[in-house]
Chain A
Amino acid sequence: MNDLSRRNFIASTSLGMAGMIVGGSLISPRQAHAASLPLKTLNKVQARTLGALAEALVPGALEAGIIQYVDKQLAESNTLLILKYLGLDASAMPGFYRNSLDSAHSLCQSLFTKSPESLTADQAQDWAANIAAGSDEKWQGPPAKFFFFVTRADACDVVFGTNAGSEALNIPYMAHIAPTTTW
C-alpha cells in the first residue's frame, strides 16, 4: 500500500454513517472510497483489516473500493458477494466477515505487534501467506483458508470484474449490456 492509498484508506474509515447514494445518485465503491464515505456493516478496525488484506492479495483492491463493496453488499437482501455461491446463507455473511476480520487483525498483532495498515509490504505478504496456510493456532475465526479464498475472490471482483479491469489486462470486455459499477 502506498502512502496516498493509506491516507485515503484511513480517512475513509473515519467518517460517520451515510450511504452509497450521494446527492440522489448511486456511486461506485471506487467513488465511495475516494469520497471517504462511511460504512454500514463493518467497524473501523474490521474495515481497515479488510482493506489491508485485500490490497496485499490483489494490488489495486483498496482504491477499487473493496471495503465499500463488501460493506455495502453485506447489507443487501440479494447480495453480489461470491459467498452466495459457496454455501453460506446471507444471514450468516456479516458474522463470517466480522469474525474472520477480527481474527485476521488479532493474528497481525500477534505476528508483528502492528495493525494491518501499518505493515510493510513484505510483512503484509507474510501475514497473507499465514492466513492462506490456515494452520496458525492463534487463528480464532471461521476457517482461515476459506476466508482467504473469499477475500481474494472479492478483491479480484472489484479489480478485474469491470471494463477497466479488462482493459488493464488488454482484453475486450464485450458487454451486451454494460454493467454499472455501483455494486
Chain B
Amino acid sequence: MNNPPLTQTYDCIVVGSGASGSIVASKLSEAGQSVLILEAGPSRELKDLVSSQLWARQLKWSGSPVEEEGNHKVGHGFNAGFGAGGSALHHYGVWPRLHNNDFDVLSKHGRSLDWPISYETLRPYYDEVQADVGISGDAKAEIWRPKGDPYPMPPLPVFAQGQVIGKGFSAMGLTTAPIPLAINSVPFKGEPSCTYDGWCDAGCPIGALKNPLVTHLQRAAVSGAEIRYDAQVTRVIIDKTNQQMARGVEYIDRDGQVYLVKGGKVVVAAFTVQTVRILLNSIRANGVALGNQFDNLGRYLTTHAGRTVFGLFPDQTDPHLGATGGQLICHDHYDDKTAIEGSFGSYQWLIANAVKPNGLLGYANSRPDIFGPKLQPFMEQAAKHLGNMLYIGEDRSVRQNRVVLSDKIDKFGIPIARTIHNAGPEQDAQMDFAMSEGGAIFRAGGATDIWTGPRAPIHIMGGAVMGSEEKASVTDDLGLVHGTDNVYVVGPSVFPTSGAVNPTFTVSALAYRTAEHLSRLS
C-alpha cells in the first residue's frame, strides 16, 4: 500500500452515512463547517429501494466479514446496513423513547451500567428530533411514555390484524397504543403519507418512512458536505507528537487504493461493530488503541432478544397491510425490571407487524416443519388469517460480551471484527415468560393455532460505551473518546445499556446533542 500525503483538510470527517453520521454531518455542514463523509458501502438512491424481500438483501452488510460466536450471536449480517443511509435505510421506523429507568440500572439494581446522562437531559433532543423528522403516534395513549412533546402527526391506522390482536391484550387487562413510527400518517414537510404496503424493511422510496436519503444525508449534501462512497476507513491517524490529537483518517477504496485525509475532528459513526473495529485498529505509539487505555473498548456489547409469536385467527387479518414495525405497542412490562421472578429487565411488544410470505421474517419460514403438499394450504390460510407480534427484551451489559479483532484479515489486509455475545439465564427466563404471555394473549384474541419463532438478535449496541468515569467507559456523555481531544463516537455503540426499545430515535437524539456541541467548536 502506498500512503499519499495528508493533503486535503476538513473541519470534520464523519465515518459512516447512517442515522447518526448523517445527522452530525448535516448539522455541522449547515453550521458552516467543511465536512467529509466516508461511507464504506455504495451510493444509493431512492429508486434503488425495490419492493422485494430478495432485493432488500442488497442493502445489508456486504463489507469485511464479521466472525460471531456465543449462544446469542448479534446477527451482524441482518442488522447492519451497507451503503448510503446505513442500517437506517432499511430500518422499520419504530421510534419509542427509552424510559427513565433505563439510565440508572447500575445504581438502582447493581447490574449493567449507568448512563452519564438522565432521561431529562436527553428529553429536549428527543423533542427536537421528532419535530424535525416527524413521528406519527398518540402520546396520550402511551400511558407509560416518559414526559415529552406530543407527536407532530396522528397515528397510523390500525388494520384488521391489529384490531384482532388488540382484543387479546384488552381481554388480558393489558394496554396497547399506536406504535410511535417515524412514518408519515399525513404529508409532512414535503414527503407524502404512508401507503401501508408493508415494504418498510426493503426501504421506503417515497420517503414516508424517514430514512437518511430523505432526511439528514440529503440535508448534508445540500449544505455542502462531501460524500465519498466505497471508502472503507481503516484507522484514525494520530498525531506523532500529541497522542491525544487525531490528524485525520486512512481509508481504502474498492480498488484497494489507500487515501489519507486530514480533519480537525473525527466522528466515528460506523455502526456498532465497525466503529469498534476502526478504533481497535487505531493504535497509539504506546501500542494501545484509541479509547482502550482501561480495556473497555469493545466491551458491553448488547443486542435485544427478539422473538415472534404467530397465530391463525378465525377473522380475516390481512397481514400484508400496515408497517413492518407493527401497528400497536405495549410497554406494560417496562417500568419494573424486577417484576418477573428469575428474570431482569424490561420488554415490549410490537404488535401486528405487516408481514410478507417469504424472507427471514416471512410466514413461510415461521413454520419450517411444514413442507411439500401441506405448504400451499398453510400459506393460503396465513395470507389471510395470520397474526403476529414481536417481543423485544432488554439485554444485560456485561464485560464478557464484546467486539475484538480477529486474527483473520479482510481482502485489504485489515484485521476483521469478531463478536462474542451470550445471553444469560435471566434473559431466557424473561423470554419464556413473554412467550407464555404472548400465547395467552393470542388465545384470548381467538387464535386457533399458535406458535413462536426462534430467538433472534435485533439491533446491536455498546462496545464504545459512554460513561462518567474514564476507567469504566470509552467516551464521555458527548461521545468524545477518553484520552483524545477530537475523536468522537456517535451511534448505538455508545449505549451503556440497551433498554428494550428500538434504538434509532435515541441514536438520533444523542447525535443531535453531540452535533450541537461540535457545531460550537471551531
CA distance A169 to B75 in the complex (A): 31
The answer on a CB contact under 8 Å between A165 and B371 is no
Closest to B68 in A: A87
CA distance A87 to B51 in the complex (A): 24
Decide if B52 is an interface residue (CB 8 Å cutoff): yes
CA distance A82 to B58 in the complex (A): 11
The answer on a CB contact under 8 Å between A161 and B52 is yes
The answer on a CB contact under 8 Å between B51 and A177 is yes
Chain B contacts for A89, CB-based, 8 A: 65
> Interface digits, B359-391 against A, CB 8 Å rule (1 contact, 0 not)?
110101100110111011001100110000000
Q: Nearest Cβ distance between residue B343 and chain A, in whole angstroms?
A: 27
The answer on a CB contact under 8 Å between B78 and A85 is yes
Decide if B199 is an interface residue (CB 8 Å cutoff): yes
Chain A contacts for B368, CB-based, 8 A: 132, 148-149, 152
Given known contacts A179-B52, A179-B54, A78 and B373 CB-to-CB distance under 8 angstroms: no
CA distance A97 to B372 in the complex (A): 21
Chain A contacts for B380, CB-based, 8 A: 169-170
Decide if A26 is an interface residue (CB 8 Å cutoff): no
Decide if B165 is an interface residue (CB 8 Å cutoff): no
Decide if A27 is an interface residue (CB 8 Å cutoff): no
The answer on a CB contact under 8 Å between B197 and A176 is yes
Decide if A153 is an interface residue (CB 8 Å cutoff): yes
How many interface residues does chain A have, given as a range?
35 or more
CA distance A140 to B35 in the complex (A): 54
Question: Which residue, of B47, B318, B371, B380, has the highest number of chain A Cβ atoms within 10 A?
Answer: B371
> Interface digits, A84-107 against B, CB 8 Å rule (1 contact, 0 not)?
111101110000000000000000
Q: Nearest Cβ distance between residue A8 and chain B, in whole angstroms?
A: 20
The answer on a CB contact under 8 Å between A157 and B73 is no
Q: Nearest Cβ distance between residue A50 and chain B, in whole angstroms?
A: 15
The answer on a CB contact under 8 Å between A176 and B199 is yes
> Interface digits, A168-183 against B, CB 8 Å rule (1 contact, 0 not)?
0111111111111001
Closest to B369 in A: A132
Which A120-143 residues have a C-beta within 8 angstroms of B?
124-125, 128, 132
Chain A contacts for B51, CB-based, 8 A: 173-179
Decide if A39 is an interface residue (CB 8 Å cutoff): no
Beyond A128-B372, A132-B371, A177-B49, list 18 extra A-B contacts (CB 8 Å): A59-B373, A82-B359, A84-B62, A85-B57, A91-B65, A125-B372, A149-B368, A152-B365, A157-B53, A157-B359, A169-B357, A170-B380, A170-B384, A176-B199, A176-B204, A176-B206, A177-B205, A183-B55
Question: Mind listing 15 A-B residue pairs with CB under 8 Å?
Answer: A56-B371, A57-B371, A58-B375, A80-B57, A91-B65, A156-B357, A156-B362, A161-B52, A161-B53, A161-B358, A165-B357, A169-B380, A174-B195, A176-B199, A180-B50
Interface residues of B (CB under 8 A from A): 47, 49-55, 57-58, 60, 62, 65, 68, 73, 75-78, 195, 197-199, 204-206, 318, 320, 356-360, 362, 364-365, 368-369, 371-373, 375-376, 379-380, 383-384
